[in-house]
Amino acid sequence: MLLKQSEKLSAASCRLVQWTHKHDDPIHPKHLIQIRSPWYLDYVDKESIVLDIGCNNGQHTIKIAAYCKQVFAFDYDPRMLKLALNHVRRSGYSNVIIQQADAESRLPYHSSKFHRVVFLDVLEHLNNRDKIMQEIYRVLKPAGLLLLSIPNRNTHWKLVQKNLGINYYSDPDHKVEYSDVEIKNFLKENGFKVQNIFPVTLDTPLVGLIDLIGGISLTLYKYLSQWRRTMAQKYPKETIGYELVCVKK
């Protein structure tokens, strides 16, 4: 239970980043280091029109903007949108459009508008998951790509928690988490074929403490993050989540 409660330290790390003047806003330390190029950028080019669903504080949106023709982004939370708008203004990019919208309602975009839809760590927070998949299918161009990341529910640490009767999801707001087989079946049912699936980083009961370290020392945090990444590559079933490249059929 103590290890489970320590996961709350991840939220504290965001405040530490701001208090220690690592960034002007309270953002997660993972946005301040780079141990690899963001994976989704490999699938974006200068002709791409991209949609970033659930853009949160806009960190992914800004990265995408440097590589594409135009990026549309939305979030439901006005606090996160304020941060995202601040980050876009500082970046100077003119090809970004940010607005407030609800991922569980009809999306405010024309059909077949986007070459790519970026959907990172959002699906598991939604109740009406079939609805958002139908909307993504609608707004994607034929043979467009869905770039998706979701949590893995079958790591050793999560199974230990499950066997002890503890809520084993990596976030208390998660409505669902997936095995690799389950997410592939879910995508197939909604008109998508998985082209590639990649592990992310090692799931560990010390994740909250590691994130807290990131609020204090980015050098040590980068070292620990690289170690987690290496271990996930070595033991892909222990990855905290999956990154998937999916094509509209």
Report the mean per-residue pLDDT for the chain: 93
pLDDT attached to residue 12: 85
Highest mean pLDDT: which range of 3-17, 184-198, 210-224: 184-198
Highest mean pLDDT: which range of 1-15, 78-92, 140-154, 199-213: 140-154
pLDDT attached to residue 9: 76
φ, ψ for residue 39, nearest 5 deg: -60, -35
pLDDT band at 186 (very low <50, low <70, confident <90, very high): very high
pLDDT attached to residue 33: 87
pLDDT attached to residue 249: 93
Dihedral, CA of residue 74, residue 146, residue 67 and residue 221, to nearest 10: 80
| Residues in a beta bridge with 26 | none
Summarize pLDDT for 229-238 with one digit per residue, the tens: 999 999 999 9
Cβ partners under 8 Å of residue 2, min gap 6: none
Question: What are the sequence ranges of the domains in the chain?
Answer: 37-203+239-248
pLDDT band at 108 (very low <50, low <70, confident <90, very high): very high
Residue 120 predicted with pLDDT over 90: yes
Summarize pLDDT for 19-55 with one digit per residue, the tens: 998 988 888 888 888 888 899 999 999 999 999 999 9
Q: To which H or E segment does residue 183 belong?
A: helix 180-189
Summarize pLDDT for 64-82 with one digit per residue, the tens: 999 999 999 999 999 999 9
Residue 8 predicted with pLDDT over 80: no
Q: What would the CATH number be for the domain defined by 37-203+239-248?
A: 3.40.50.150
With a pLDDT cut of 70, the percent of the chain lying above it is 100
